[in-house]
Amino acid sequence: MLHFEKYLSDFNSTINIWEFILNLIIVTVIAYTIKLFYIRYGRAISDRRKFANNFIPLAVGTLLIIAVIKSSIALSLGLVGALSIVRFRSAIKDPEELTMLFLIIGLGLMGGANKPLMAVVSYLLILPILFLNSRLAQNKGTVTNKSFLNINTELTDISVLNKAIEPLTSYLEIKRVDSNPNGIHASYYCIIDHPGQLQNILDTVKAIDIKAKISFVEQPDLLL
């Protein structure tokens, strides 16, 4: 009990509660605005809204960890040992998703280190840069009749699926592959010049796996 009271005394003497609350509010607001920005301007084909819902908890969690670690050397060593067993289980395939996570973690680190001004300035500078980068990437693209093709199959070898589909399209780019005990889920960018090509794809995939589930979403403004 005495050790716990001593810890609380040390914690209160090293952390100003009002500064902590201010940092928490600032980081939460920044993470929320970045969430809205990513949903609107992100280019990942996964559910951006669902993914962006993790931004606030991640930023706040990072802030809390850093706030505790910097208050005690003993705690920092203990937390490093405890956190070393944590593994990142999320299926993050798109580099854009990983980049946004690094950005959110960085802002959380600044908040936990009691650097609210640095966090705000970084946010005000980084967000316009991300916006300009998004606009430039779109301006350099070429409008095509690319489409999304999603296939759920019991196959376990993605190369079999690729070899079967590629000759039937004018363009094929594999975007994402998820593997599970029941098979694989593959997402493609492709160009379908006429409906006959789509029917050929359906027939070919069904010939390989009669239970395969196929979805096709036309995206005429998708950029190459």
CB burial class (10 A; 0-12, 13-18, 19+) of residue 133? exposed
State whether 130 and 172 are in the same domain. Answer: no
Separation CA 35–CA 125 (nearest Å) = 16
pLDDT tens by residue, 10-32: 555 566 888 889 999 999 999 99
Q: What tokens were used for 22?
A: 């201010």
pLDDT at 224: 47
pLDDT at 17: 85
Mean residue pLDDT across the chain? 79
What's the total number of domains in the chain? 2
Considering 92, 114, 139, which residue would you say is the last residue of a domain?
Answer: 139
pLDDT at 142: 46
Please state the rounded mean pLDDT for residues 53-62.
Answer: 90
pLDDT confidence bin for 39, thresholds 50/70/90: confident
Judge contact between 104 and 57, C-beta under 8 A: no
Q: Tell me if 173 is assigned to some domain.
A: yes
Considering 89, 112, 139, which residue would you say is the last residue of a domain?
Answer: 139
pLDDT at 123: 92
State whether 113 and 174 are in the same domain. Answer: no
Cβ neighbours, 10 Å, residue 224: 12
pTM of the model: 0.55
pLDDT at 82: 53
pLDDT tens by residue, 87-102: 555 555 577 888 888 8
Q: Tell me if 224 is assigned to some domain.
A: no
For residue 187, what are the domain limits? 146-218
Say which CATH number the domain at 197 has.
3.30.70.380
Q: Tell me if 223 is assigned to some domain.
A: no
Q: Tell me if 210 is assigned to some domain.
A: yes
